[in-house]
């Protein structure tokens, strides 16, 4: 099977088009003011309108309240909510029930205990995303170009699809896929030529590298 790739933190039309044309299965839009990849709801709506049917449009939020989520759902043209904060399983369940969209819960991983703690989210999420724990003092929970020990996920079984993130780039994604057993990957900072600005060539290179691995 071909690996599904998510290009996250998209802010410009040419980069959305590049991701879609290169074969990305998911496109991501960040709604978090502390991120250099932050977009407004209207900006995101214009970008998602370019995305064809069959390619997911993911809104990344961090501990968002219902008012913000409703505004995003109503105006940004997304079909998936990526909860990338400290949301509890109970909160994830409420979001899923309230907004009736696919919900992906991002979970920080540093050791085996984190992997086990993630299991409490299987019954309340449609998808899981495993990311590296942010460094001490970080202002955002993801997009920090940090990896974690991929062997922690090797041979693990999950009741929902899951995605690997954290420090992936064109040079290491093949190894990450083989070691972790992931069937989906997420990238943001490694396909940029400057913080918050994507690079068309790097987008294409990353997707090609991931697609070269058969799972």
**pLDDT at residue 136, rounded to an integer:** 64
pLDDT digits (tens, 9 = 90+) for 158-181: 999 999 999 999 999 999 999 999
Q: Which helix (H) or strand (E) holds 118?
A: helix 112-118
Cβ(159)–Cβ(151) under 8 Å? no
Question: How many angstroms separate the CA atoms of 119 and 117, rounded?
Answer: 5
pLDDT confidence tier of residue 6, bands split at 50, 70 and 90: very high
The reported pTM is 0.94
Residue with tokens 């799972």: 215
| Domains of the chain, start order | 4-211 (3.20.20.70)
**pLDDT at residue 72, rounded to an integer:** 98
| φ, ψ for residue 105, nearest 5 deg | -105, 125
- For residues 78-107, give the mean pLDDT: 97
- For residues 138-166, give the mean pLDDT: 85
pLDDT digits (tens, 9 = 90+) for 181-195: 999 999 999 999 998
| DSSP character at residue 161 | -
Lowest mean pLDDT among 82-96, 108-122, 125-139, 143-157: 125-139
Contacts of 2 (CB under 8 A, 6+ apart): 23, 211, 214, 215
**pLDDT at residue 137, rounded to an integer:** 54
**pLDDT at residue 139, rounded to an integer:** 52
Question: How many angstroms separate the CA atoms of 57 and 59, rounded?
Answer: 7
pLDDT digits (tens, 9 = 90+) for 9-52: 999 999 999 999 999 999 999 999 999 999 999 999 999 999 99
* 215 or 90, higher pLDDT: 90
The CA–CA distances, whole Å, from 193 to 63, 100, 115, 140, 186 equal 28, 36, 32, 20, 17
**pLDDT at residue 135, rounded to an integer:** 60
Instruction: Indicate whether 1 pLDDT > 90.
Output: no
Cβ(105)–Cβ(128) under 8 Å? yes
């Amino acid at each position: 099977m071909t690996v599904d790739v998510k290009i996250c933190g998209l802010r410009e039309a040419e980069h959305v088009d590049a991701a879609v044309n290169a074969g990305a299965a998911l496109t991501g839009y960040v709604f978090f003011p502390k991120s250099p990849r932050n977009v407004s709801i209207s900006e995101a709506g214009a970008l998602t309108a370019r995305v064809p049917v069959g390619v997911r449009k993911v809104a990344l939020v961090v501990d968002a309240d219902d008012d913000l989520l409703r505004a995003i759902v109503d105006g940004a043209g997304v079909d998936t909510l990526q909860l990338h904060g400290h949301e509890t399983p109970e909160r994830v369940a409420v979001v899923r029930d309230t907004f009736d969209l696919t919900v992906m819960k991002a979970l920080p991983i540093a050791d085996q205990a984190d992997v086990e703690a993630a299991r409490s989210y299987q019954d309340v999420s449609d998808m899981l995303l495993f990311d590296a724990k942010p460094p001490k003092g970080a202002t955002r929970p993801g997009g920090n170009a940090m990896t974690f020990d991929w062997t922690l996920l090797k041979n693990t079984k999950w009741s929902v699809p899951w995605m690997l993130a954290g420090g992936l780039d064109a040079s290491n994604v093949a190894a990450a896929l083989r070691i972790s057993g992931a069937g989906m990957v997420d990238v943001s900072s490694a396909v940029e030529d400057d913080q918050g600005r994507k690079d068309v060539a790097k987008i294409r290179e990353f997707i090609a590298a991931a697609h070269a691995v058969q799972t």
